[in-house]
A = this chain, B = another copy of it.
């Protein structure tokens, strides 16, 4: 069960991200250690072959990892991404994408999260990318509050 104040913090933080709004990414589900984001296909985020740009998909996967991690941290924690690695398994083709972020290790300072990106195209559902990320809990820094 996710604490209501932590849920509200995450929803407010996501809403305060111009980058996620630019991509029309949506926060679909938040649980303790699990976050689902949704990204609609849009020509404006594609690369030269007409697929969604791996880096743009990666930006949303990075957010899914970050919020999954933040959901396991104390209410007063801010978060910074230390690193992430993305494996591109298939071209990012589809009508929309579901990005499932999950915490693998809940540490006091360091949280490790993973993300799977699933492309939905009519009846077809396909895993197109995976990510692992290291996130850091930040306390007492005015410029990193959530």
Contact = CB atoms under 8 A, between A and B. Distances in A.
Interface of A: 13-14, 16-22, 43-50, 52-56, 58-63, 78, 80-91, 104-105, 109-110, 112, 114, 127, 130, 132, 134, 136, 143-146
A19 B132 contact: no
Nearest to A142: B49
Contacts of A84: 54, 58, 85-86
Contact of A19 (B44, B83, B87, B136): B44
Given A17-B46, A87-B104, A104-B89, A58 B53 contact: no
Contacts of A17: 46-48, 53
A45 B21 CA distance: 9
Contact of A55 (B16, B59, B145): B59
Contacts of A58: 55, 58-59, 62, 84
